[in-house]
Chains A and B, each alone.
Chain A
């Protein structure tokens, strides 16, 4: 199965990078995303998934693990989001589904649910602070931070990438992506506060 290749953000078609107020925006539209649920206290489940994914499922809250190919985001004590940015098909999902022998686990392909808006620049925190109620310095201080919160009233996931310049991936529902992007672009005015 080939994933939907239409961008959700109209202005960021075909991997376009737009820059406003010193902040760059790019849409990572075609990443494969798999929602995995299971009991983190079940050793055999954790071992099996670790072997299949070649990465450890994070058990520490608000963090992610990265093996160079995929990212595994912590969404809850028994829920993870596996993100594979390079794959344009659902090979990883089929592999996990085929080997899913655990009664207390669930694997769902949610690739079409969210898109990723990648934001890069020094004043990202100033920009996001205009819309978020969370303490960004506290919650997004590490390179492996993940935060699930509300952007105005839209549920989002923020992931801080390991990068020289501050780079954050904003996961948002495809249907809200334009709305969020337009607000962010509008917010790039007057960032020097």
Chain B
């Protein structure tokens, strides 16, 4: 549970929002020329970062508007909020150091065998 500062409604509780997953994933400009691997990468592959991640959120129980959030997935600390279409802001934050040194990309403490290209 944490608070999110909706750019339109103000500070509200997380249960009013829906997370739309990783932000800034653009659709391939020419789908017929896109290989299956590239298409699968666009559709399914997500970074799942343990640390600072750029996400899309929707205030589904409020104004129903989409916006971008920069969130530290380890601590749920919100480092920035900006509107759709705006440039990615510079974030002054480091991914947390973990004792076992697992990779940033992975699920929790279990490292995965793939990395996003």
A residues in contact (CB < 8 Å) with B: 61-62, 75-77, 79, 133-135, 139, 148-150, 155
Which of B8, B11, B61 is packed against the most chain A CB atoms within 10 Å? B61
Distance in angstroms between the alpha carbons of A139 and B6 in the assembled complex: 13
- Asked if A149 contacts B12 (CB within 8 A), the reply is yes
Residues of A within 8 A of B76 (CB): none
Is the CB of B9 closer than 8 A to any CB of chain A? yes
- Asked if A150 contacts B64 (CB within 8 A), the reply is no
Distance in angstroms between the alpha carbons of A155 and B64 in the assembled complex: 12
Q: 11 more A-B contacts (CB under 8 A) besides A76-B8, A150-B61?
A: A61-B8, A61-B10, A62-B10, A76-B65, A77-B63, A134-B12, A134-B13, A139-B10, A148-B63, A149-B61, A150-B15
Q: Which residue in chain B gives the minimum CB-CB distance to A74?
A: B63
- Asked if A148 contacts B9 (CB within 8 A), the reply is yes
Residues of A within 8 A of B9 (CB): 61-62, 148
Contact string against A for B residues 1-28, beta-carbon threshold 8 Å, 1 for contact and 0 otherwise: 0000000111111011000000000000
Distance in angstroms between the alpha carbons of A107 and B12 in the assembled complex: 28
A62-B9, A148-B9 as given contacts; A75 in contact with B15, CB under 8 Å: no
Distance in angstroms between the alpha carbons of A148 and B8 in the assembled complex: 12
In this complex, how many residues of chain B approach chain A with their Cβ under 8 Å: the count is 13
Question: A122 to nearest B CB, angstroms?
Answer: 26
B residues in contact (CB < 8 Å) with A: 8-13, 15-16, 61-65
Distance in angstroms between the alpha carbons of A55 and B65 in the assembled complex: 25
Residues of B within 8 A of A155 (CB): 61
Residues of B within 8 A of A139 (CB): 10
Distance in angstroms between the alpha carbons of A139 and B16 in the assembled complex: 15
Residues of A within 8 A of B64 (CB): 75-76, 79
17 residue pairs from A and B, CB less than 8 Å apart: A61-B8, A61-B10, A61-B63, A75-B64, A76-B63, A76-B64, A76-B65, A77-B63, A133-B13, A133-B15, A134-B12, A135-B11, A139-B10, A148-B62, A149-B12, A150-B15, A150-B16
Task: Choose among A133, A135, A149 the residue that contacts B62 (Cβ–Cβ < 8 A).
Answer: A149
Residues of B within 8 A of A134 (CB): 12-13
Distance in angstroms between the alpha carbons of A173 and B32 in the assembled complex: 45
Residues of A within 8 A of B62 (CB): 148-149
The 3 A-B residue pairs whose C-beta atoms are closest, nearest first, are: A76-B63, A133-B13, A148-B62
